[in-house]
């Protein structure tokens, strides 16, 4: 029975993360970019000034029962910036070669507009609960934007995302945390699981406001820590940086095979790996981050939506590029055969950083980063799952409590190394989430255009 489930999952996963779906994901970004007048290009300066630049200006303190705009984006970033930024990117380069990095940038460029559109719609069609808190996400803009006749599609998204929250959002991340704690402190996986479960329980029981408060401190710290490590890598290999970029760009269009692969197939593999890791990393088009953004106290959809451009930029263009440069500059042998010599993609990333940073400093940087990246992802996905199951159950408090208890227990499952099949199934479900979301984005693109025109009409 388990073997049958495994084989079926591999077949479905091959389609979900295959060329057709990846083309649809990137194609949706291209379509939305054209329809909105290249919003991520024309208004990039304005967007940076009014997202990251706004953090240096005095902020309104009272946000009621909802999140501040910054807490909303850090909650979304906590779920977006994860182990895929390190392990996933490293694996993509080993399999697809340095050229995969270029196609990852391409997916991020158009993904900025995709995430902008998701957030705009999530803000436009969100609802207010009895407790005064905003609730939104793809399930709400599918039902309220497309009409009641499309509720089945909203239910499908919520179901897929709700199940995926246990796997991608918890089990996989708990496993990475256990590995990091073992490497850093020699801590037993069961002990790590118990500690993690307690921490997650305390935060999750506090609800979205506590999650927002924690991520507003955790995300900037972990991002700055990893970026500083990247700056150190760049400084130590500064003379080689121009050639590294040249290698990435030339390899993106090279017919030379990677690691002994089939000649002429390199471009296809590089594109597939780059697109897949880019989408998996920044989650543009998957529909998860808009759930967090909908909880923002911001009233104007466009004002919150521009954070989506910043989110993809910092996640892929900055953080993923740091990982990419470390791997390319390390001089390690690439190819699937070379990757199999390491115990995991994360171990390959450790090897890359250790070739550049002195001593075992590279390994420590990766393990500490993986620890915080994974923890932040768990916290955000706990809220994504909560909102999805809340939508499916009509916000039943009993279902909400059962979900939280089960989510906390999954920390133990992941940390002790079991549940690999569920991880694989959840990976497939994670990709399948994109299908109902992309349908809604394409059908509601006119609404996105209207929001964009209204918001930027008087802006300079």
Tokens standing for 363? Answer: 């390994």
Closest by Cα among 119, 458, 455 to 304: 119
In the predicted structure, residue 181 carries a pLDDT above the cut 50: yes
Separation CA 264–CA 242 (nearest Å): 26
What are phi and psi for residue 135, nearest 5 degrees?
Answer: -135, 135
Tokens standing for 285? Answer: 């088009």
Question: Cα angle at 98 between 94 and 99, to 5 degrees?
Answer: 120
In the predicted structure, residue 332 carries a pLDDT above the cut 70: yes
Check: CB of residue 368 under 8 Å from CB of residue 225: yes
> Looking at 336-350, 380-394, 427-441, which range is the least confident one?
336-350
Q: For 15-29, what is each residue's pLDDT tens digit?
A: 887 788 888 888 999
Q: What is the DSSP letter of 83?
A: G
Number of domains in the chain: 1
Closest by Cα among 312, 268, 286, 323 to 110: 312
- The residue assigned the tokens 């004002």 is 303
Check: CB of residue 290 under 8 Å from CB of residue 138: yes
Residue 416: alpha-carbon gap to chain centroid:
24
Looking at per-residue confidence, does 375 or 261 come out higher?
375
Check: CB of residue 212 under 8 Å from CB of residue 295: yes
Residue 295 falls within a domain, yes or no?
Answer: yes
Q: What is the DSSP letter of 135?
A: E
Residue 241 falls within a domain, yes or no?
Answer: yes
Tokens standing for 314? Answer: 């910092």
Those residues whose C-beta lies under 8 Å from the C-beta of residue 432, and which sit 6 or more positions away, are 12, 16, 160
In the predicted structure, residue 45 carries a pLDDT above the cut 70: yes
User: Which CATH number belongs to the domain containing residue 335 in this structure?
Assistant: 1.20.1740.10
Domain membership of residue 247 as a residue range: 41-54+66-456
In the predicted structure, residue 5 carries a pLDDT above the cut 70: yes
In the predicted structure, residue 64 carries a pLDDT above the cut 60: no
Looking at per-residue confidence, does 320 or 71 come out higher?
320
Q: For 187-211, what is each residue's pLDDT tens digit?
A: 898 999 999 999 999 888 877 778 8
Q: What is the DSSP letter of 67?
A: B
Those residues whose C-beta lies under 8 Å from the C-beta of residue 50, and which sit 6 or more positions away, are 303, 306
In the predicted structure, residue 2 carries a pLDDT above the cut 60: yes
Separation CA 424–CA 434 (nearest Å): 17
Residue 11 falls within a domain, yes or no?
Answer: no
Model pLDDT, residue 96: 85
Residue 101 falls within a domain, yes or no?
Answer: yes
Output the pTM of the full model: 0.91
Separation CA 253–CA 260 (nearest Å): 17
Closest by Cα among 381, 262, 301 to 69: 301
Check: CB of residue 438 under 8 Å from CB of residue 106: no
Residue 104 falls within a domain, yes or no?
Answer: yes
Model pLDDT, residue 74: 84
Q: For 214-260, what is each residue's pLDDT tens digit?
A: 888 888 888 889 999 988 988 999 999 999 999 999 988 876 655 54
What's the whole-number average pLDDT of the chain? 86
Separation CA 107–CA 284 (nearest Å): 9
Predicted confidence band of residue 31 (pLDDT cuts 50, 70, 90): very high
CB 84: neighbour CB atoms within 10 A?
A: 28
End-to-end Cα spacing for the chain? 61
Tokens standing for 151? Answer: 């509720």
Residue 350 falls within a domain, yes or no?
Answer: yes
Those residues whose C-beta lies under 8 Å from the C-beta of residue 436, and which sit 6 or more positions away, are 138, 142, 153, 154, 156, 157, 160, 287
Interval 257-273 mean pLDDT = 62
Model pLDDT, residue 82: 77
Looking at per-residue confidence, does 451 or 179 come out higher?
451
Predicted confidence band of residue 168 (pLDDT cuts 50, 70, 90): confident
Model pLDDT, residue 460: 67
Predicted confidence band of residue 262 (pLDDT cuts 50, 70, 90): very low
Separation CA 340–CA 346 (nearest Å): 12
- Which burial class, exposed, middle or buried, applies to 6 when counting CB atoms under 10 A from its CB (0-12, 13-18, 19+)? middle
Residue 23 falls within a domain, yes or no?
Answer: no
- The percent of residues above 90 in pLDDT, for the chain, comes to 42
Check: CB of residue 328 under 8 Å from CB of residue 248: yes
Residue 269 falls within a domain, yes or no?
Answer: yes
């Amino acid at each position: 029975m388990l073997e049958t489930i495994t084989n079926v999952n591999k077949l479905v996963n091959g389609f979900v993360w295959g060329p057709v779906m990846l083309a649809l994901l990137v194609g949706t970004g291209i379509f939305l970019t054209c329809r909105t007048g290249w919003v991520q290009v024309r208004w990039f300066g304005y967007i940076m000034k009014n997202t990251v630049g706004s953090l240096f200006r005095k902020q309104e303190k009272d946000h009621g029962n909802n999140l501040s705009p910054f807490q909303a984006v850090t909650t979304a970033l906590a779920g977006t910036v994860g182990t895929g930024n390190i392990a996933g990117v490293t694996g993509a380069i080993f399999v697809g070669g340095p050229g995969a990095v270029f196609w990852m940038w391409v997916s991020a460029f158009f993904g900025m507009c995709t995430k902008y559109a998701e957030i705009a719609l999530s803000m436009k069609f969100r609802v207010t609960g009895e407790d005064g808190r905003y609730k939104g996400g793809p399930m709400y803009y599918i039902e309220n934007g497309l009409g009641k006749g499309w509720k089945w599609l909203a239910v499908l998204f919520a179901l897929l995302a709700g199940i995926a929250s246990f796997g991608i959002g918890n089990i996989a991340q708990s496993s990475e945390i256990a590995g990091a704690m073992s490497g850093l402190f020699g801590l037993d996986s069961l002990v790590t699981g118990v500690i993690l479960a307690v921490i997650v329980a305390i935060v999750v029981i506090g609800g979205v406001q506590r999650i927002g408060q924690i991520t507003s401190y955790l995300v900037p710290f972990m991002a700055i820590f990893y970026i500083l490590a990247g700056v150190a890598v760049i400084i130590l290999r500064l003379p080689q940086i121009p050639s590294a970029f040249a290698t990435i760009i030339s390899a993106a269009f090279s017919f030379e095979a990677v690691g002994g692969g089939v000649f002429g197939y390199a471009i296809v593999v590089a594109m597939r790996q780059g697109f897949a890791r880019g989408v998996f990393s920044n989650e543009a088009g998957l529909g998860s981050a808009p759930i967090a953004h909908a909880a923002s106290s911001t009233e104007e959809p466009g004002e919150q939506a521009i954070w989506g451009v910043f989110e993809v930029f910092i996640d892929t263009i900055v953080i993923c590029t740091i990982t990419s440069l470390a791997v390319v500059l390390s001089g390690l042998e690439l190819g699937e055969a070379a990757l199999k010599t390491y115990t995991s993609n994360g171990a390959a990333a450790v090897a890359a950083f250790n070739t550049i940073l002195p001593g075992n400093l590279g390994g420590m940087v990766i393990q500490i980063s993986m620890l915080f990246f994974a923890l932040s992802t768990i916290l955000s996905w706990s809220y994504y799952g909560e909102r999805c199951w809340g939508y499916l159950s009509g916000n039943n408090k009993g279902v909400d409590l059962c979900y939280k208890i089960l989510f906390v227990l999954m920390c133990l499952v992941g940390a002790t190394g079991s549940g690999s099949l569920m991880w694989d199934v959840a990976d497939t479900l994670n990709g399948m989430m994109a299908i109902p979301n992309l349908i809604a984005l394409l059908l509601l693109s006119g609404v996105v255009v209207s929001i964009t025109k209204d918001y930027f009409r008087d802006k300079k």
